[in-house]
Amino acid sequence: MTATAGSGPIPVDPPRATNTGHLHGRPFPAAARVALGDSQLRRNIGKATHTIRDKRAIVVDELADWRELRAAGAAIKDATMARLDTYLEQLEEQVTAAGGVVHWAADADEANRIVIDLCRRAEATDVVKVKSMATQEIRLNEALADAGISAWETDLAELIVQLGHDMPSHILVPAIHRNRAEIREIFNREMGKVGRPAPSGLSDEPAALAEAARVHLRQRFLSTDVAISGANFAVAETGTVMVVESEGNGRMCLTLPRTLITVMGIEKLIPTWRDLEVFLQLLPRSSTGERMNPYTTMWTGVTEGDGPQEFHLVLLDNGRTAALADPEGRAALRCIRCSACLNVCPVYERTGGHAYGSIYPGPIGAVLSPLLTGVEDNTSLPFASSLCGACYDVCPVAIDIPSMLVHLRTKVAALPEKARTPERQLMRALAWVMSSPSRWTRSIRSMGLGRFLARNGRFSSMPPPISGWTATRDLPAPPEQSFRDWWAARAPEDGAS
Amino acid sequence: MRVALFATCLVDAMAPPVAKATVTVLGRLGCTVEFPLSQTCCGQMHTNTGYADMAAPMVKNHLETFEPYEYVVTPSGSCAASIRHQHPWITRDYLDPELVDRVEALGNRTYELSEFIVNVLGVTDVGAVYPHRVTYHPACHGTRTLGLGELPLKLLHEVRGLELVELPEAAGCCGFGGTFAIKNADVSSAMLADKVHHILTTGAEACTAVDASCLLHIGGGLSRNRTGVDTIHLAEILASTETDPTVTAANGGQP
Ligand code: SF4
């Protein structure tokens, strides 16, 4: 499951599902059960998601043309995906012309190898990092560590996660599962081990915690020669790459070091500069609930005497072309990682991100992770949803996540290993009954007899699989007479079944 | 107006009063209600669990049963949503692409009950009397997939004697989600616990919704915790009158 880093021959045709990195974990129901038992986690996440959710709703309602913007965002992404090959080549040309170097990585292993080689060539033992999902996806930090290179996260939340030897649990707010008391404790305990310690008497006021992080990080920015980032967008027509952020740490990483390496999923591409007009309205409002994010850094190749003098762009596939090939799945590639769907999801709200086992949690994670790894490697995530549809409502690029989940479930059910499950047999038996009016009529008539087994008109405990229901919920006893029998008795001329 | 009732498998087998109430309300509004006995199930549970192939014969049966009717009304937002949004692709992928147009046409004249009463019949006051304190849970598929929005509330506002109390965090899913309630029983129960909690804070005697399935779930939680709060389908409230009141367990009758 872990992406192995470093040397080793490149397989000619890498098997898709084995090298994808941090995209799967143990089955969701088991992991969720553990998460649900963590009351601190549930409180932290419940509170945080509600806060961002409300902020988002306010700033989205401000825009009279939100629906049109959303439709435009979806349309631009779809049009880009339809000609992705052309646009990618255009991007490569433009980046190269501007003095950058483009690398192509088929999967996590290859991307890690490229980055490690580049770091070695730059003789770097330490690198600073801008918050990036793509590098988390490929487990770059772990791969770098195996190669003897220390990667330092500079985003406040990523720093908290890294210092806490933890995993991100949210796309945008990786430490959403931590509250400020826990953060203070992590800073006090860990900062000194790896650099400048937290100031003595550190309080858990957000400003004090941010200041401690700032001081701790400052030294790193000034002493590190290589930075690694992801990208929010890349403009094909100009070769411009872009990172949007809130804290300014990204700006430091993107401008101070000599070498900049950006790892970007190939779906981050947009054709023209003008398309940003749409996405820079959609993204900040959906993600942080801000009208505009504080820092937007854009760079086109390298500029002599200004900023990094070496720029490498690693274009990462890692299952994306496979997702693109799936007509029911390709809309997932529209995703701009705003995390609005996580913040409204009733499942995510209660389990947090770790239960999903993938770096992409929540509704988008439940579709994107299996699309990238192949469903055979992620059989439980498509079921980690009640299909309530809250995610689709808020998605700024109108990804119909519930419908995609249903399609992925169909793929899971069709896997060879699912050919003989008790569930399938039960479903088949039910389908046999339910597709015939006469069988259905007879079966609910006999079901009515079950009421004699009920106590006070309800069942409070039933054998599996219904026990999953009755553990916490009663089930009413079936009525004496079904509706159809009542109807037939009332209006016999209506014909018999 | 001749209307075919699609009771849904759940209501047919487990909650006949909901279908009876639907017949009553529609009859009061001047509709001639028919219940074609060849109906079974819309196949939603199979579809949403990954067995759309098995749902296909049900989709076909549904088409054959209801195609002759000008209007089909169902007391379920989620079944109406499945018929409108899932039946066409199930037909395309597992039955016969040639049938898709007919399936879509049937979907377009299939209505959830409140949608039919307000949008088709143009009525908001159905002459109902239900003198109880009630809170309304906007079931997900009706509200989001069908876009019912405020329609059920419009009907509830006109019910005489009814005191409607707002449900906190109303839009949150109750955790039913079909087989989700069993496959992810722990998460589902956590969602239900919060829904039950919010219902209790309203001090309502009953929680209503447009879907018997969500009510079965919510009712299961309310009953397990012996809250004394009942569930009642919107149709049952709309059917209730002074002379023929709907009686639920909580207001003194039998469940
Ligand atoms: S799926 Fe939509 S809402 Fe979710 S993170 Fe992606 S863009 Fe945002």
Condensed to tens digits (0 to 9), the pLDDT of residues A61-77 reads 999 999 999 999 999 99
Whether residues B176 and B216 share a domain: the answer is yes
pLDDT at A10: 35
What would the pLDDT profile of A196-243 be if each residue is shown by its tens digit? 999 999 999 999 999 999 999 988 888 899 999 999 999 999 999 999
Residue at a domain's end among B120, B153, B177? B120
Q: What are the tokens at B78?
A: 């989620």
Alpha helix ranges (H) inside chain B: 9-14, 16-28, 44-49, 52-66, 77-85, 87-90, 100-108, 113-115, 140, 151-157, 180-183, 185-202, 212-224, 234-239
Ligand 1: residue whose CA is nearest its atom 4: A341
Nearest CB to B255; choose among A410, A423, A476: A476
| B221 contacts A472? CB cut-off 8 A | yes
Residue A342 alpha carbon, nearest atom of ligand 1 = 4
| B187 contacts A484? CB cut-off 8 A | no
Q: Are B141 and B98 in contact (CB under 8 A)?
A: no
pLDDT at A454: 84
- The pLDDT of residue B249 is above 80: no
Whether residues B114 and B142 share a domain: the answer is no
The percent of residues above 90 in pLDDT, for chain A, comes to 83
Nearest CB to A473; choose among B19, B45, B220: B220
CATH code of the domain occupying A62-321:
3.40.50.10420
Q: Least CA distance to A389: which residue of chain B?
A: B144
pLDDT at A491: 60
Residues of A in contact with B12 (CB under 8 A): 444, 482-484
Identify the H or E element spanning A444.
Answer: helix A437-447
DSSP A9: P
User: Confidence class of residue B248 from pLDDT cuts 50, 70 and 90?
Assistant: confident
User: Confidence class of residue B216 from pLDDT cuts 50, 70 and 90?
Assistant: very high
Whether residues B152 and B195 share a domain: the answer is yes
Whether B148 is in a domain gets the answer yes
Chain centre distance of CA A5: 23
Ligand 1: residue whose CA is nearest its atom 7: A335
| A431 contacts B37? CB cut-off 8 A | no
| Cα–Cα distance, B37 to A484 (Å, whole number) | 7
Is the C-beta atom of A72 inside 6 A of ligand 1? no
pLDDT at B74: 98
| A466 contacts B184? CB cut-off 8 A | no
Q: Which of residues 176-195 of B touch A (CB under 8 A)?
A: 176-193
Whether residues B181 and B111 share a domain: the answer is no
Q: What are the tokens at B251?
A: 């207001």
Whether residues B74 and B141 share a domain: the answer is no
| B144 contacts A388? CB cut-off 8 A | yes
| B54 contacts A428? CB cut-off 8 A | yes
Whether residues B155 and B196 share a domain: the answer is yes
Residues 6 or more apart from A153 whose CB is under 8 A from it? A129, A131, A141, A159, A161, A162
Whether residues B40 and B137 share a domain: the answer is no
Whether B252 is in a domain gets the answer no
Phi, psi of A457 (to 5 degrees): 75, 15
Q: Are A6 and A138 in contact (CB under 8 A)?
A: no
What would the pLDDT profile of A91-112 be if each residue is shown by its tens digit? 999 999 999 999 999 999 999 9
Residue at a domain's end among B120, B149, B169? B120
Sign of CA dihedral B222, B224, B226, B228: positive
DSSP B254: -
Phi, psi of A339 (to 5 degrees): 75, 10
Whether residues B94 and B151 share a domain: the answer is no
Is the C-beta atom of A396 inside 6 A of ligand 1? yes
Whether B126 is in a domain gets the answer no
| B11 contacts A483? CB cut-off 8 A | yes
Whether residues B116 and B7 share a domain: the answer is yes
Phi, psi of A316 (to 5 degrees): -105, 125
β A233-235/A240-245 pair status: antiparallel
The percent of residues above 70 in pLDDT, for chain A, comes to 95
Q: Are A129 and A220 in contact (CB under 8 A)?
A: no
pLDDT at A21: 82
Residues 6 or more apart from B121 whose CB is under 8 A from it? B1, B29, B31
Whether residues B69 and B91 share a domain: the answer is yes
| Cα–Cα distance, A125 to A139 (Å, whole number) | 18
Domain that holds residue B170: 133-239
Residues of A in contact with B221 (CB under 8 A): 472-473
CB of A476 within 8 Å of a chain B CB? The answer is: yes
Alpha helix ranges (H) inside A62-178: 66-82, 84-97, 108-121, 133-137, 140-146, 156-163
Residues of B in contact with A435 (CB under 8 A): 40, 57-58, 60-61
Q: Are B204 and B224 in contact (CB under 8 A)?
A: no
DSSP B2: E
Whether B250 is in a domain gets the answer no
Split into its structural domains, chain B has a count of 2
What would the pLDDT profile of A247-289 be if each residue is shown by its tens digit? 899 999 999 999 999 999 999 999 999 999 999 999 999 999 9
What would the pLDDT profile of A129-166 be if each residue is shown by its tens digit? 999 999 999 999 999 999 999 999 999 999 999 999 99
Is the C-beta atom of A341 inside 6 A of ligand 1? yes
Compute the CA torsion angle B111, B117, B121, B125 (nearest 10 deg): -170
- The pLDDT of residue A4 is above 50: no
| Cα–Cα distance, B212 to B79 (Å, whole number) | 10
| Cα–Cα distance, A292 to A288 (Å, whole number) | 9
- The pLDDT of residue B26 is above 80: yes
Domain ranges of chain A: 62-321, 430-494
What would the pLDDT profile of A406-437 be if each residue is shown by its tens digit? 999 999 999 999 999 999 999 999 999 999 99
Whether B84 is in a domain gets the answer yes
- The pLDDT of residue A496 is above 80: no
Distance A339 CA to ligand 1 centre (A): 5
Residue with the larger pLDDT of the pair A17 and B168: B168
pLDDT at A35: 94
A10-14, A82-86, A416-420: segment of lowest average pLDDT: A10-14
CA of A290 to nearest chain B CA: how many angstroms apart?
23
DSSP B144: I
Whether residues B111 and B140 share a domain: the answer is no
- The pLDDT of residue A17 is above 60: no
Which residue carries 């899971």 as its tokens? A412
Q: Are B44 and B145 in contact (CB under 8 A)?
A: no
**Candidates B10, B54, B211, B216, partner chain A, best to mutate (most A CBs within 10 A):** B54
Q: Which of residues 55-94 of A touch B (CB under 8 A)?
A: none
Q: Least CA distance to A351: which residue of chain B?
A: B187
Residue A367 alpha carbon, nearest atom of ligand 1 = 1
What would the pLDDT profile of B80-127 be if each residue is shown by its tens digit? 999 999 999 999 999 999 999 999 999 999 999 999 999 999 999 999
Whether B166 is in a domain gets the answer yes
Is the C-beta atom of A340 inside 6 A of ligand 1? yes
pLDDT at B140: 95
Q: What are the tokens at A260?
A: 């900049």
Phi, psi of A245 (to 5 degrees): -155, 175
| B9 contacts A386? CB cut-off 8 A | no
Q: Least CA distance to A484: which residue of chain B?
A: B12
What is the number of H-type helices and E-type strands within chain A?
A: 22, 12
| A482 contacts B9? CB cut-off 8 A | no
| Cα–Cα distance, A468 to A463 (Å, whole number) | 9
CATH number where B160 lies: 3.40.50
Q: Least CA distance to B225: which residue of chain A?
A: A473
Residues 6 or more apart from A238 whose CB is under 8 A from it? A94, A273, A300
Whether B38 is in a domain gets the answer yes
The percent of residues above 70 in pLDDT, for chain B, comes to 97
What would the pLDDT profile of A434-493 be if each residue is shown by its tens digit? 999 999 999 999 888 788 888 888 888 888 888 889 989 999 899 999 999 999 998 655
Whether B220 is in a domain gets the answer yes
Compute the CA torsion angle B232, B237, B238, B239 (nearest 10 deg): 90
- The pLDDT of residue A8 is above 70: no
pLDDT at A427: 95
Is the C-beta atom of A399 inside 6 A of ligand 1? yes
